[in-house]
Amino acid sequence: MPGAPLSLTSKPPSPLPIITPLRHQLQSLTTVRFSATTVTTTAMPDHHPSLEITGGAVDRFLPAFNTLHLTYKPFPIVGWNCHIETLFAAFFRKIPEVRYRRECLRTKDDGTIALDWVCGDHRSLPADSPILILLPGLTGGSQDSYVKHMLVKARSKGFRVVVFNSRGCGDSPVTTPQLQSASFTGDTCHVVDHVSSRYPKANIYAVGWSLGGNILVNYLGKEYNNCPLSGAASLCNPFNLVIADENLRKGFNNIYDRALRGGLSKIFSKHASLFEDTHDDYNVQAGLNPQTVREYDEAITRVSLGFKSVDDYYSNSCSCHVLQHVRIPLLCIQAANDPIAPIEGTPREDIKGNPNCMLMVTPQGGHLGWVAGDDAPFGAPWTDNVVMDFLEHLQKDASKPRASSISGEGIQQGSEGFHQAKV
């Protein structure tokens, strides 16, 4: 479960020389092509052995990727250790300049969701341009470096991008005693319905990181009969929150637990008065100064959602339980050495059994790191190009733009203004 606390305001050092792009080498290489009845291969393997690729949709999606036959090479020294890579990416990755236009949505329970659109895109992009909704991790928002890098990459490919800031995240207003949680998909439904009704001619996709990935997959699995998305990608998803909780309290991982609970308590402290005026089940003092993420979730999160205990909350919020129900194309990317989203929690068998899902596991990458590829070490994560290959493949194969029948009922557009995201 990631968070903004790891994306601090440290100013990055001067970048190292950019690694020479490798795309020109691809022209001389052959590829692998799949059909419904046969598999034809040439001398080149479909993907490099350094990557683990599996899933029920491999035959459908593997032709979409341009560079998977190249070895996954983490940047020297930085990629040697999962903790070094995780912290390096959090503190030293460049943060692209992006100007946002904020739109606030009022939900049925009188809550508030903040959407950050890129300034000027509403006028400059056609109404049928594909749309990408970004779901940051725990306490994360539109200001985070990994979010902005994905946004910039998607915009360069003609996508309209909007960042979904969960309640309390990204300096969004809080109007009810409920903040971000792993299991509540109601806000995601509101956001997708609103975007669909606003751009009915566009195909809509979504990308979620860490807890945002867990929320996204929960939405896909629970709303499979009503999901209007055309495709999605989940990155460094903890999947099994019970395993993730146990892992977060082991050894050096305690540093992430402290950082994340610090971010949670910082957000909570701004809105504690809302919780003080409600029933006595909230432990406001523990929420203001939790010793662990688990203690915060016991004091605040599980109460707001009506769970009897924090263990009940975790066990009922695992996206691994609903992945089998996903009915749209879904790409899952995990790092084998992720210290926050342990690979042991990844539901490999369910992904293999779902004809709509594909799993890619990199040998290194840490959490929200993936400091590898042409843009390493200070540029975009290695995963950005992979995700865009996937989304462009889906968009290209879309027969025609989806006509939405969603009215957006229950969502009221609130205050809207311009702001410059600060880092």
Q: Which residue in 46, 187, 338, 384 is the catalytic one?
A: 338
Question: How far from 212 is each of 46, 47, 82, 234, 278, CA to CA, in Å?
Answer: 30, 28, 21, 8, 27
How many Å apart are CA 185 and CA 190, to the nearest integer? 9
Question: How far from 300 is each of 239, 267, 268, 310, CA to CA, in Å?
Answer: 21, 12, 9, 9
How many Å apart are CA 193 and CA 187, to the nearest integer? 10
Please report the sign of the dihedral spanned by the C-alpha atoms of residue 322, residue 299, residue 368, residue 232: positive
Q: Quick check: 341 and 312 in contact, CB under 8 A? A: no
Q: Is 367 a catalytic residue?
A: yes
Helix (H, G, I), strand (E, B) or coil at 415: strand
Q: Which residue in 47, 321, 367, 393 is the catalytic one?
A: 367
Short-list 240, 285, 271, 35, CA closest to 176? 271
How many Å apart are CA 185 and CA 187, to the nearest integer? 6
How many Å apart are CA 56 and CA 349, to the nearest integer? 9
Q: Is 280 a catalytic residue?
A: no
Written as one letter, the residue type at 206 is: A
Q: Is 384 a catalytic residue?
A: no
Q: Which residue in 129, 166, 196, 210 is the catalytic one?
A: 210
Q: DSSP letters of 177-242?
A: S----SS--HHHHHHHHHHHHHSTTS-EEEEEETHHHHHHHHHHHHTTTT---SEEEEES----HH
Would you please indicate which residues are annotated as catalytic (active-site) residues?
210, 338, 367
